[in-house]
Amino acid sequence: MSDSYDDGAAWVRRFHPSDGAPRRLFCFPHAGGSASFFFPTSRSLAPGTDVLAVQYPGRQDRRNEPNIPDMAQMADRAAAALLPWTDLPYALFGHSMGATLAYEVARRLQSAGRPARALYVSGRRAPHRVLDDGLHQLSDAEMVADISALDGTGSQVFGDAELMDMILPAIRSDYQAAETYCYEPGSALDCPIHALTGFSDPRVPVRELHHWSEHTKDSFDLRVFSGGHFYLVEHHESVLECIAEGLRAI
């Protein structure tokens, strides 16, 4: 792997390479998340689907690279890294901030003549409905409290001050990218959009997910699960089946 920050390989993790698969799924983590969040997804869908998890700069093996607090720049670089992998039919899945990023990458790949077959968006407002809650301006202590309330990182992390010092910059940068994101109107996607969410998500009311239908020329559907912002951890198998069902059709 090159030391260059623009090395496309740095953005892609294939935990279970499936070279004979007829399709691919690109996965985009939540704010502060990493590619390893989708290791179970990759393991479950292989070898029928080649899963590529996106690794953002500033975390895990990319921790020495600068974070990118700008959604458009992240989308430009992620799309460039994934473009060579669009030789097979593909879909995208993103959770929380990752949903917005997946959408923006899908727009860029469609403009490049490589449209997606499906977009799965989870736990996130539609692009034109994104709010700036000012979370990226919280103090470290307030940010830790906010993350803990969402229960998305794991309780053991909060007791490790050194680990928190390592991951907070990435979380703050991702929050800034997500909250300062500015939707630019353009052509709707040509593929279906499948929205998923937790009924008790404190971040995103269920009614907000319906607005994603405005961003596709194709079909739209919504699946609601019990649970909060990280409902997909509790309902891992059901979420996977929902995704797998759609993937079989591409």
Active site (catalytic) residues: 96
Cβ neighbors of 91 (< 8 A, separation 6 or more) are 23, 24, 25, 26, 116, 117, 118, 119, 120, 191, 243, 246, 247, 250
Cβ atoms within 10 A of the Cβ of 16, count?
Answer: 16
Taking a C-beta distance cutoff of 8 angstroms, is the pair 150, 203 a contact? Answer: yes
Instruction: Please tell me the distance from the alpha carbon of residue 250 to that of residue 248, in angstroms, as a whole number.
Output: 6
DSSP labels, 102-116: HHHHHHHHHHTT---
Instruction: Please tell me the distance from the alpha carbon of residue 75 to that of residue 78, in angstroms, as a whole number.
Output: 5
Instruction: Please tell me the distance from the alpha carbon of residue 72 to that of residue 78, in angstroms, as a whole number.
Output: 10
C-alpha pair distances (Å), 101 with each of 18, 165, 183, 226? 24, 25, 11, 24
Determine the distance from the C-alpha atom of residue 238 to the mean position of all C-alpha atoms in its chain, rounded to a whole number.
18
Helix %, strand %, coil % of the chain (to 5): 45, 15, 40
Instruction: Please tell me the distance from the alpha carbon of residue 197 to that of residue 191, in angstroms, as a whole number.
Output: 20
Instruction: Please tell me the distance from the alpha carbon of residue 156 to that of residue 180, in angstroms, as a whole number.
Output: 30
